[in-house]
């Protein structure tokens, strides 16, 4: 097994045929021999956080809506949170001051150390070796995450933005059309 990709981005290539992941950017929360789990960062829903969680909406990252984290367990909620104190109760670090906030503990009383949250319904999941096989067949680019990526205020532009900042030929993919027939 290669080194864990936890905390990295996997970015869908135009070769990935699964419509669930067309032009997606996924933040990997776990990556082990048993499999991988991640969140699609660029699929905003129309449902406002304030409709369901008024207190959390005060720290919801713009655009302040729920996100579709992936096709697995639709309805299961995962909360990414940026904190100003990494000793925050009920928070598990992922990268720097970004991590997962336990919604069960903080749904109605978010700790004052939380700067921003983004709530995802569902997640992306792969069994042991499945993600590696998809990467080997050219389905995913593995890239480093930048601090603003997970909570970007412009999620619809994230796929192109992440690719555009890459050097060499990889950056050219940022210009790939959504529909090849319009090219």
- pTM here is 0.92
pLDDT tens per residue across span 111-146:
788 999 999 999 999 999 999 999 999 999 999 999
Structure confidence at residue 176 (pLDDT)? 67
Alpha helices in 21-106 (DSSP H): 54-57, 103-106
Structure confidence at residue 14 (pLDDT)? 87
CB-count exposure of residue 159 (10 Å: 0-12, 13-18, 19+):
buried
Structure confidence at residue 182 (pLDDT)? 54
> Token pair for residue 70?
């992936």
How far apart (Å, rounded) are the C-alpha atoms in residues 136 and 165? 23
Residue 180 reports pLDDT greater than 60: no
pLDDT tens per residue across span 28-66:
999 999 999 999 999 999 999 999 999 899 999 999 999
Q: How confident is the model at residue 1 (pLDDT cuts 50, 70, 90)?
A: very low
> Contact, 82 vs 115, CB < 8 A?
yes
pLDDT tens per residue across span 84-108:
998 988 999 998 999 999 998 877 6
Please state the CATH superfamily assignment of the domain spanning residues 9-173 in this structure: VC0467-like (3.40.1740.10)
Domain ranges of the chain: 9-173
Q: Which of 86, 111, 109 is nearest to 97 (CA)?
A: 86
Q: Which of 8, 20, 4, 50 is nearest to 150 (CA)?
A: 8
> Token pair for residue 1?
């097994």
Averaged pLDDT of the chain = 90
């Amino acid at each position: 097994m290669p080194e864990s990709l936890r905390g990295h981005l996997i970015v869908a290539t135009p070769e990935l045929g699964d419509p669930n992941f067309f032009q997606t950017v996924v933040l990997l929360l776990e990556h082990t021999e048993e499999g991988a789990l991640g969140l699609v960062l660029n699929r905003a829903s129309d449902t406002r956080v304030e409709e369901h969680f008024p207190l959390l909406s005060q720290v919801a990252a713009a655009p302040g809506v729920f996100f579709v984290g992936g096709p697995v367990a639709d309805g299961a909620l995962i909360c990414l949170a940026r904190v100003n104190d990494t000793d925050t109760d009920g928070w598990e670090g992922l990268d720097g001051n970004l991590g997962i906030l336990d919604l069960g503990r903080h749904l109605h009383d978010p700790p004052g150390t939380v700067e921003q949250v983004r709530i995802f319904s569902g997640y992306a999941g792969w069994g042991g070796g499945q993600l590696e096989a998809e990467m080997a067949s050219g389905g995913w680019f593995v890239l480093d995450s930048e601090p603003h990526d997970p909570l970007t205020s412009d999620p619809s532009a994230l796929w192109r933005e992440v690719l555009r900042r890459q050097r060499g030929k990889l950056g050219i993919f940022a210009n790939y059309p959504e529909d090849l027939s319009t090219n």
